[in-house]
Amino acid sequence: MSPRRKLEADHRDLFRLPDPQPRRWVLPLVAGLAAVLIIAAVTVSTLLLVKRETQRHDAVRDVAVLSFVRGFVTHYTSIDPFHANDYADKVLAQGTGQFAKLYQDKMNEVVIQVARAEPTTGTVQDLGIERWNRDGSADVVVAATTKTRMPDGKTIESGSRWVVTATQEGGAGGPWKISNLLQVI
């Protein structure tokens, strides 16, 4: 073949459109499925994170209220007749609402009774949250024992059960206070 004919043959192929290739649908399908899977994974991860944080927040709140109530009931059942005024002031400082009002009204009687009593050591045996109320307060059931050393050297031990309502003043982050204290028979 002569060089001129070879050039003309190459020249004709230069302007000819290539044959149409079949469309590839696999790549867009795989990309679409991958996008859906990524969105689903992010959604599930977000829901799990929110659930975990809610559970963590609830657990921290439970521990805080139980710790406060344990300390309060331990102090409340540990009577020191030599410091009756300090005892009454500490109990009043940890009260709020109806409990604080009642305690304030009967504070003189409480101080006199504590001053006449024998030294007593209170211990919380067990406690648990009965329920959370709509106002954010918690009803806590407490089982406590008290040991009283009598002047003759004998030790008397007795048990008591309480339902304590603890309220967080000032919303989340505020101090816990006792709004109701009820001894259960």
Instruction: Give residue-wise pLDDT tens across range 10-19.
Output: 566 666 777 7
Q: Which residues contact 33 (CB under 8 A, 6 or more apart)?
A: none
Q: What is the pLDDT of residues 54-94, one digit of tens each?
A: 999 999 999 999 999 999 999 999 999 999 999 999 999 99
Contacts of 50 (CB under 8 A, 6+ apart): none
Secondary element (H or E) of residue 167: strand 155-168
Give the model's pLDDT for residue 173. Answer: 74
Question: 154-170 b/e with 16+ CB inside 10 Å = b?
Answer: eeeeeebebebbbbbee
Q: Greatest CA span in the chain, whole angstroms?
A: 136
What are the residues whose beta carbons fall under 8 Å from the beta carbon of 118, sequence distance 6 or more? 79, 81, 148, 149, 150, 151
pTM: 0.76
CA 125 to chain centre: 22
Q: Read off the DSSP letter of residue 173.
A: T
CATH number of 26-184: 3.10.450.50
How does pLDDT run across 99-149, given as a tens digit for each residue?
999 999 999 998 999 998 888 999 999 999 999 999 889 999 999 999 998
- Cα torsion through 49, 64, 169, 73, rounded to 10: 160
SS3 per-residue string spanning 121-153: EEEEEEEEEEEECCCCCEEEEEEEEEEEECCCC
Which one is predicted more confidently, 73 or 171?
73
In a 3-state reduction of DSSP, which class is residue 18? coil
- The domain segmentation of the chain, as residue ranges, is 26-184
What is residue 24's DSSP assignment? Answer: P
